[in-house]
Structure 1
């Protein structure tokens, strides 16, 4: 039997999400999360390995409970994505609680740009849509998914909610990021807790060696823009805020303290040290709310194929 086209399935989901009640979409995705969790496919098993490392000391029963909650959180992201285009400005604002512990508002008010290092926590697309209407313009980079139709659907979706998106791997992406950061007035958001290239950096995450993307730190070093770790987690909505948001769930977007960059170090070392800085901060945020970390892929070096990883390091000149 021919496998269904992923792009077509996502297009159908967005079409359906645009007309059926959001509660029905949420219910269907909760059921999908429960089924996927119960089947214990490779993604769920990898999720549990990751969760066991970032929040150690759990019993097998506790780990299963957290992974179940994490799968529901992950599917909640998709339920919101499929209905996000319908959200009004007032609904977006009500769905997000903003905590600026790092001083991003001051950077914005001074006309500057900032680099945000994000992990796959909560709903980064909702955060980006909210930022575009309530904070400052957003520029991000998206993985070029396969098939291409799937990538185009996600690209159209993200641009439809106000984000400007560049495709990872296209020519001139990093120079354009530098130009944008240097011009000021933009929040450059980069999901970086999983390395998608051969240029990643080894860091310590929860006491284990992981490989993450160099992009946020490299951009901050090259452009001079401040680098902020940003965590996103879900919270239950109640009362007036829930009535305005028209959903039982909102997110908390926290701008953590700026990562200091030691300009006296060689540039490569600046990037490595700054990368460890944002990873350490987000590692603590993930450990506090592990069920909102949607990481079903391999990020810890011990999970990677040893031969392929050695080749990757060789190609990167490490």
Structure 2
């Protein structure tokens, strides 16, 4: 009973915040989100300290304490901007999003289109991937399929699913659906439609080993496996913010020719995806929003008072 009440309160809190942010004038909403990001950074919770540790790796350990603290604050402000924009995307509208979007590497997608092939886009949690989805729906002239982690409470997951489908995306749950998500994705691609997957965190147990920012990590092999099974073009892409809008960078197609065995080809391809992520994230590390653990040997930083 207590857990149900807490879940209901969580959902009501998100719903109230969602409605409030949509009603605010854009400058006010941006200012409130920026203040919230600073506040969260100042609290120094476990997620913030994990983000700080992740950013140390992403910047090659070259920043001193004050520089890393400042980067972490910018990253939390960027993450708050993502949520503020996510809540307001339907109000912003497709025309505004397209106007303020810069797409780098569009020629790679055009090549796949000329070849009549669907696309598997692999992305990290960087910039505003929902805004990238709005651009992609417009370019495709129809929906793409993505996978979403089930949130708790279930009503909150349903709220986010409905929101993303209003943007033109189609969503299948990572777990708990009527059919395995991998099966649904494969059928979608076989039918000629495209897929987007966020893959810089391995949420399952079947990831493949890669070097990510020079350290061993695991990433889901799904993007490469799907491309190998269906003939789709596999493209890494990384998003970041500009002052007024969004920059999305699409990298060249990743070949699936890493050896005679399927697993070897998948591992080699996912290493190429990890390398593209490293390249793209390095351009704007403050826009990489991962407050969870990426590397087994990189735990959260200690609290500020215990770093001596």
Q: Which residue of 2 is the match for residue 45 of structure 1? A: 49
- How do residues 132-143 of structure 1 correspond to structure 2 at under 5 angstroms? 132-136=137-141, 137-143=143-149
Match of 2:245, SS? strand
Alpha-carbon distance between aligned partners in 2 of 1:263 and 1:33, rounded to the nearest angstrom? 42
- How do residues 13-32 of structure 1 correspond to structure 2 at under 5 angstroms? 13-32=17-36
Alpha-carbon distance between aligned partners in 2 of 1:70 and 1:263, rounded to the nearest angstrom? 35
Alpha-carbon distance between aligned partners in 1 of 2:171 and 2:121, rounded to the nearest angstrom? 15
Alpha-carbon distance between aligned partners in 1 of 2:258 and 2:290, rounded to the nearest angstrom? 33
Alpha-carbon distance between aligned partners in 1 of 2:268 and 2:162, rounded to the nearest angstrom? 35
2:153 pairs, out of 131, 147, 150, with: 147
Q: 1:102 to 1:209 in 2, by over 3 A?
A: farther
State the 1:200 CA deviation. 1.1
Alpha-carbon distance between aligned partners in 1 of 2:216 and 2:9, rounded to the nearest angstrom? 36
The answer to whether the 8 Å contact 2:50/2:299 transfers is: no
1:190 pairs, out of 197, 210, 223, with: 197
2:206 pairs, out of 199, 207, 213, with: 199
Q: Alignment RMSD, CA only?
A: 1.9
Question: What is the aligned residue count?
Answer: 292
The unaligned stretches of length 5 or more in structure 2 are 301-308
Alpha-carbon distance between aligned partners in 1 of 2:180 and 2:40, rounded to the nearest angstrom? 39
Deviations for 1:151-202, whole angstroms, at most 9, x for unmatched residues? 1111111011110111101223212211211221x33100000011111122
TM-score normalised by the chain length of structure 1: 0.87
State the 1:112 CA deviation. 2.1
State the 1:145 CA deviation. 1.0
- How do residues 93-172 of structure 1 correspond to structure 2 at under 5 angstroms? 93-100=98-105, 103-136=108-141, 137-169=143-175, 170=177, 171-172=179-180
Which of structure 1's runs of 4+ aligned residues deviate more than 3 A? 1-4
TM-score normalised by the chain length of structure 2: 0.90
The alignment status of 1:219 with 2:249, answered yes or no, reads: no
The unaligned stretches of length 5 or more in structure 1 are 237-248, 306-318
